[in-house]
Amino acid sequence: MGSAQADTKASGEFARDMRYIPTRITADGRDGYPVEADRYRLIIARACPWANRAAIVRRLLGLEPVLSMGICGPVHDERSWTFDLDPSGVDPVLRIPRLRDAYLARDPDYPLGITVPAIVDVPSGQVVTNDFPTMTIDLSTEWVRYHRDGAPDLYPESLREEIDEVSELVFTDVNNGVYRCGFASSQGAYEQAYDRLFARLDWLEDRLTRRRYLVGDTITEADVRLFTTLVRFDAVYHGHFKCNRNKLTEMPALWAYTRDLFQTPGFGDTIDFAQIKEHYYVVHTGINPTQIVPKGPDPSGWLTPHHRAELGGRPFGEGTPPGPPPRDERVPSLK
């Protein structure tokens, strides 16, 4: 979530600050922000796994024509994510050089981290929300009238309780678990986080040996949330965050599962490994003071056969895959 809101406990344990702007964009506009086409701009960074969730869900649901997307560069300073990928370093829609400007437009005394993903109200230039867990659920449930024909149901009502239960385990032990390893400041805190992470990965390996997707027989919100950590595992978390019991490529079911999703339209076409590596290895100078970015691993394995279709399942349920991403949102193809 870049510029992560975090603290370190006396025990050396990393503690993520989960205070976000809770305002929601809803069909009935009860928080003052009704769902509208062309009113809002989703701000992400390719590097950030939390922002990656929103980018994937937007793609799968086909919201590109009604919800524009701005992309920050992979490296930021202590103040803010910046739009250094854009001409003159200014977002072409919001006309600001730093995401911080949209936060301060909403609250000049905003005291918390400047995080992505964030959704900005374009007319006012103010951040509406950066509450990443709720954001993707709302894209699925509140933006329904703008979903593309054939959009999948990523949060089916009959499976919501199980999706929420699995997602909470994945968040605690895996999504946030890799950060609890990487930013631990004591040996004991690190080892505790490490053990929890790999115990949960073993649990997921067993679960996904027998089934194609985490919950039900189609892609759901739970898969999106797990994918964004797993796709970064070997490139970043294994070495940089010391999550090195084994690589993702050494866990057969999880490696095949993540390749299956990577090769599914809407997933791999949001991933830029160069930006992912640059962010972690350059920004986290407390962990990597030389700021040297590793040359590997070789990404070509992501395109190898996964054979997951043999487990059954229908990726999009009764729906269809999304079309190609807009030209200005394409990521470099793997060699």
- Specify binding-site residues for glutathione: 81
CB neighbour list of residue 80: distance below 8 Å, 6 or more residues apart: 3, 98, 99, 100, 101, 114
Query: Which amino acid belongs to residue 272?
Result: D
DSSP state at residue 175: I
Helix/strand/coil percent split, the chain, to 5: 40, 10, 50
Binding-site sequence positions: 81
Q: Is 48 a catalytic residue?
A: yes
Question: Of 33, 40, 48, 243, which one is the catalytic site residue?
Answer: 48
β-strands 126-129, 118-121 pairing = antiparallel
Place of tokens 């702007």: 21
Output the furthest CA–CA distance in the chain (Å, rounded).
54
Query: Which amino acid belongs to residue 174?
Result: V
DSSP state at residue 152: -
Question: Residue 126: beta bridge partners?
Answer: 121
DSSP H helices, the chain, are 49-61, 100-106, 132-141, 160-170, 177-182, 187-210, 221-230, 252-262, 273-283
H or E segment to which residue 41 belongs: strand 40-45
Respond yes or no on whether the N-terminal peptide bond of residue 324 is cis (omega within 30° of 0). no
Q: Is 243 a catalytic residue?
A: no
| C-alpha torsion 171→273→279→190, nearest 10 | 40
Question: Of 179, 213, 237, 281, which one is the catalytic site residue?
Answer: 179
Catalytically active residues, by annotation: 48, 179
